[in-house]
A and B are shown apart, each in its own frame.
Chain A
């Protein structure tokens, strides 16, 4: 019995030490390491084949450089002040068929993590709907949720929570 235990221990410990393989993820830019920032705007390597439209997207004088939509508590409707921002990105997608985005919905940290994930999804979906109605193609947009897991501001109180109730617009390949 003791011998058997010893062998099991070695097998298990060596298994414990082995690297887990990175899974295949459908529909997302490849080559992103585990350490890549979710909340940032880096969705993969900026290689030499980078489309020219990125200069337009990152022009600080363009509304396209603005990438976040904020919400009221318990709300997922896009407020009037963010309408032009969302529609500008929608028109950009309409005019640049090869461009595509991922919309990440976020919530504050009150309540169930899974339910907040669903609420964040609703926020991202509301932006997506507005964009497709304005001419962007469905296939250009993936709406996902990060729920309460990636807060932009840490702590408690409305000034913190209001920054975390948002949808971020990330261009693929940027």
Chain B
């Protein structure tokens, strides 16, 4: 493959290296409910010689594809082609596969392995795409995610998000850990651990920093922490409470909620903590800001109309007096998060004492409730807009769950012990 490819993949490995740590105890398990009616049937043949590796590449690929709810895996039992010349297409037509994934693993030198894969179109009897990646054996999962992205993109036309990361808070006993994990929940690593609460993690647009709220000093303070160096600084520690950070799309500023000037109001502050500027001005509660992808608007929760509802204001105007109310169904609509195309947002809607994930189209104002659980919180769009990550509760324990944008597929990501909450889906890696 080309030099450019190696350069980009090398950048990716460096990015992912910090995920490999001694803290990867919080392994997540995935359960899938329901699913779309028209899934793409895909057969994945275990790669030649992958059984010599500690990690099955094709299992990770299969799990990734299945979690989206868009694919149905066809059992290749009995057939094991690894190269195009070995494929008998009639066999795969008979099994109902539209696409076929084949490949091989070759030891290169030391602990480096080369993974070659091809995606075959069964109907056209031709190769759709293919890739060769050389990685150290410690990076086999990341390589598998990269391959799953390529397959997903070739078969759906959308950007794959299997190489992205998620952040969340894990509470275990009286300890709170801010963790970062791969999008499938593996390689979890604690960024910071405290005996006091942490809430509201927010990814910087470049994926290099996390903003969050820590209560370690007896009140909420907003910090920004750099993942690679673990350096951090308080960007909002003003008198009163400081919370609800949201990054501007250019990564230069944060919207935060401060109370020092009365009430809970939205302010802008530079990422280094300078240049404080008041944005909202109401006598009620204005909180949970979420920047639009073009940086022009902020969605937020306000009770100015008597109950908490989602509003939108222009960032340019200094006053939010003419903010537009967006939600009208029910008496409790909170925690808005913009989709990546800026055309819709996800939020929490309360109905009959249940708190559920919903999506509203901004243009048509059409609302769709996506879940039927009891206590959903903190919905966060995947960077391709196809899935929403959220926190929910099962048997009194907080777990992470994800639901497809159309509500057709849901999955639980669970840890063995502890409460997991406040998820935030990270951006696409910089090499994508």
Contact = CB atoms under 8 A, between A and B. Distances in A.
A27 to B, nearest CB: 5
A38 B257 contact: no
B308 to A, nearest CB: 6
Contact of B287 (A34, A114, A144, A150): A114
| Among B13, B217, B288, B335, residue most surrounded by chain A Cβ atoms (within 10 Å) | B217
A94 interface: no
A26 B237 contact: yes
Contacts of B17: 5, 8-9, 12
A125 B262 contact: yes
B192 interface: yes
Given A20-B230, A34-B195, A112-B334, A143 B240 contact: yes
Contacts of A111: 332, 334, 348, 350, 355
Contacts of A114: 199-200, 243-244, 257, 287-288, 301, 334-335
Interface stretch (B59-67, B221-229, B314-322): B221-229
B337 to A, nearest CB: 12
B234 interface: yes
B112 A25 contact: no
A104 B233 CA distance: 24
Given A5-B17, A28-B217, A115 B288 contact: yes
B197 interface: yes
Contacts of A24: 234, 237
Given A114-B243, A121-B240, A150 B200 contact: no
Q: Main SS of the interface on chain A?
A: mixed
A115 B334 contact: yes
Nearest to B174: A35
Contact of B232 (A23, A27, A110, A149): A23
A52 B354 CA distance: 51
A115 B287 contact: yes
A101 interface: no
Contacts of B215: 38, 146, 149-150
Nearest to B217: A25
Interface in A127-147: 142-147
B301 A115 contact: yes
B305 to A, nearest CB: 14
Interface size bracket, B side = 35 or more
B199 A23 contact: no
Contacts of B239: 26-27, 142
B39 interface: no
B50 interface: no
A118 B287 contact: yes
B207 to A, nearest CB: 15
B125 to A, nearest CB: 36
B18 A28 contact: no
A90 to B, nearest CB: 19
A113 B195 contact: no
17 contacts: A20-B225, A25-B217, A26-B237, A34-B216, A102-B219, A112-B301, A113-B378, A114-B301, A115-B308, A115-B335, A117-B264, A121-B240, A121-B241, A121-B259, A142-B239, A142-B240, A144-B218
Give the 9 A-B residue pairs with the shortest CB-CB distance, closest first.
Answer: A144-B219, A149-B197, A118-B264, A118-B285, A112-B334, A23-B234, A25-B217, A145-B241, A118-B287
Given A117-B287, A122-B263, 19 more contacts: A15-B228, A15-B229, A24-B237, A28-B218, A34-B194, A38-B215, A111-B355, A112-B334, A114-B244, A114-B334, A115-B287, A115-B288, A117-B220, A118-B257, A121-B259, A142-B240, A144-B220, A146-B219, A146-B220
